[in-house]
Chains A and B, each alone.
Chain A
Amino acid sequence: MNPKIADKVATTVLYIISGIIIIILASLLGYILFQGVPHISWHFLTSPAQSFEAGGGIGVQLFNSFYLLVLAMLISTPISLGAGIYLSEYAKKNWLTDAIRTSIEILSSLPSVVVGLFGFLIFVLQFKFGFSILSGALALTVFNLPLLTRNVEDSLRGVSDEQREAGLALGLSRWETVLHVVIPEALPGIITGMILGAGRVFGEAAALIYTAGQSAPALDFTNWNPANIASPLNPFRPAETLAVHIWKINSEGIQPDAVAVSAGASAVLVIAVLIFNLSARYFGNRLFKKMTAA
């Protein structure tokens, strides 16, 4: 075939394939939003769920999702930063670091339901944390850690060795070079990865069903004493999240308006994840611009 025609054919085929992907994604998103958005109201977002009657909201679940997310990120961010810095800046190439990398890769491809069962056996039963926010946050950490670590390592590796040499040649110690030269340059990538990871955690259900539990007891939003069982901050209370709620309503919901609640909750979830993704881009770009441009 003549190269010009071949080029045209290839371009057309690629356009069609990308078109198909966009259509699938757009119709999926459109369907969820179209079905769900009409049910979203201030009342829906703030009131507790109903088990048997219509008119329930997702207030508690929404709060649980955010609380779990914050806890999970609080635990996994420092660990992934440490591991990523070690792997990228300090680790020598030997069997040990190879083993660590392989483990991280295997861990990152673990199905989340397996992570959930692992969390159930270890955190819920062995450590006796019960179905609780803490068990859920730890399970989410297991789920999220490999990808975050990988992201930190890749972002740091993306910084050219010339920058490291510049720092060292200036009389900075290795740690100072990492801290003041390499990390600032890698920061946009690291933050983007963190926010995307947060989005993934926010939408996670399978890892939480057996760890954070499937019930959302009514919370007293005036009680901020973490030791009190009715307090929203108590890390040892069971906490059904938005994603788990959607799953539960669809599998065993007996509310008369189950379909509407599930549609509304799905729309809220999708919108939240969209916000995470868009803000990841926005903050990543802004940070990069701030650090590189005039």
Chain B
Amino acid sequence: MRRRSGRQTVAGWLFVTPFTILLVAFLLLPMAYAAKLSLYRSTLVEGEVFAWLGNYRQAFGDPEFRRGVVRVVVFGLVQTPVMIGLSLVFALLIDAGTSRLARFFRLAAFVPYAVPVVIGTLMWGFLYSPRTGLFSSVSDLDLLSSGTVLYSLGNVVTWQWAGYNMIVLYAALQGLPREVYESARIDGAGPLQIAVRIKTPMISAAIVLVTIFTIIGTLQFFTEPLILQPLDPGTITNSYTPNVYAYHQAFSYQQYNYSAAISFLLGAVVFIGSYIFLFVTRRRSALR
């Protein structure tokens, strides 16, 4: 028996080898390289020197980086509840309805997710354009000005991802046992009460999951601002979000070391943000 378990261990390792190799080659090694990069400083004149935590110190004191972090955190605080709320409402609606309309609606809400982010953002960029855009013919509000562009970006993100989150929640709803609804109905619960008191608590694990995805996604906000940057370069600067900042540091200014340090700090922010959320929701479920 003991020999068999040894062989099992070897077999187990063999099974995870392909994954381990990919993990090490494409995640851990690049991360280690980036970590090393972030500890050096290269200047155009003097070349590369070891700087310990100099890049990190610089980033903490860098007002552009701090503004970017604050922006994505605030953006996430608004964006996440809106997005998850919408997705949940949609999921509950199509779960309650069984008609063909529900099927059509499910597809329609999901389609934006199938559109590549770049294409979707470009499309919204055309719609927002204050001169040739569709909205300009309806109202005078400039959707690409300093006061509005963050909302415009939020709209693009919601449009793109709400359908995806809806499908995840909908799948969770489909997995629930139908008998529960029946007993609830016998106890006199209406459709609204079933949705709020029965279905929503029962898929709380899925809700936590999509919320985590959304938090990580908003903190790493990158593609949408980068694509809309040419349309409103005064507001969407090269340091608009930490990710955009890291990108420009590396590929516009050749500051690979500083870029690596920023990326690691952003990673830390994402980690802390996700952890806080998981911690809060864990306590809640324990209380229940």
Q: Do A and B bind each other?
A: no
Chain A residues close to B by CB (< 8 Å): none
